Amino acid sequence: MNQSGQYKLAPLFSLTGIAAMEFCENTLFSQSKIIGLADLRDANTVAVLSERAGTIFSDAVKKIKDVLADDMVGIAAVDIPLLYPNDKTVDAIAGALLAVSIAQHVMPSLLDRENGTPFSIFNASQKNSRTLDSVGIKGVSPTDILDFHSDGSIHDGLLSIPKYLFLYNILINYHNKGNFYWVPTQTITGIKEYIDSFGERDDYIFDLTPTVYESQPSQIKAILAHRARTSIFRRVGENSIATFMNGTFRGKHDDIDGAAIEILAQFRTDISQNDCRYYVPQQARRMIFLRNDCGFHARDVLDNPIEGLATTRSYLRSASVEGHPVGYIEAG
């Protein structure tokens, strides 16, 4: 999939070191000690960080929001500079806290069901990748192929499409990191015909990509799997269509001949071959914001891990509170 020469580089910004250090020194320390990511369980703490980030990084926030307001671009990346080079742990925590603070100003987010934070944190290692492979879980490990899809959120048995997603790579310990991609729905070949074919009814069954939680590094605590009955396309405005596609498609609930499965397979092929595609090179300390409701995203397989490091990737993910209902959970 890594053929970025024929695609468009997504808008990419960098925070200034002066502004980043001002935020960190005035916001992230209590009694000379940096706060932790777990402290973001407290809504008041999140509100303070979000407000200060919106003030100090107002120019960057405006640029991000302007890009996300455009259905035809819909993805932006922001780099965080090195902050505390003499203390790698403090530097990693400060970068993650800064990223989450900006994200919460751009897109207030759903709380992680296990951690109670406005983000989920995922750590990968070669060991837990082997564990996931052994139980047949695909699309979660950094070394798995992650094809074009959109993400969903679940609340009280209902399935929605979050309008925005946020990703932040704390570290990527691979030599070959590849790219992250986003394809705007409106540009996909034959999109009007696909909308007409699938309609807007919640008649389609997906086994959603599981969510994996760890009890400790490389120890799998829980795997949450769900089956959803949902629409693939849903009109959300006079001229806007929200799109959902995640996990394994099982077809229309009353589909006897498997026609819907064949049509969606062709749709996925058309997305992967679409001429209009934005890309962001994957690297540590890079935030990615994207429109999840009007496009599909994917990433390259991460390859050639750096030897001698236990953790191969660590990243944060948030999904916006703002979104569109599309279906409900049948099982899981």
What are the 10-residue block averages of pLDDT along the chain, 332 residues in total? 74 97 96 95 98 98 98 97 96 98 98 94 73 49 72 93 97 95 96 94 87 58 76 87 92 80 94 96 97 96 89 94 94 66
pTM summary value:
0.91
What pLDDT shows up at residue 255?
Answer: 73
Q: Which residues pair with 223 in a beta bridge?
A: 212
Strands of 75-79's sheet in order across: 12-14, 75-79, 286-291, 164-172, 311-319, 120-125
CA 265 to chain centre: 23
Buried b (16+ CB within 10 A) or exposed e, 237-254: eeeebbbbbbbebbbbee
Whole-angstrom distance, CA of residue 326 vs CA of residue 228: 10
- Collapse the DSSP code of 328 into the 3-class scheme (helix H, G, I; strand E, B; otherwise coil) and give the result: strand
| End-to-end Cα spacing for the chain | 32
Q: Where are the alpha helices (DSSP H) in the chain?
A: 17-27, 43-56, 58-68, 88-106, 126-134, 191-198, 259-272
What count of Cα atoms within 13 Å lies in the side-chain half-sphere of residue 299? Answer: 20
Q: Which pLDDT score is estimated for 58?
A: 97
> What's the confidence (pLDDT) of residue 174?
94
Q: What's the pLDDT at 54?
A: 97
Give the CATH fold of the 4-331 domain: Double-stranded beta-helix (3.60.130)
Task: Specify which residues 320 forms β-bridges with.
Answer: 109
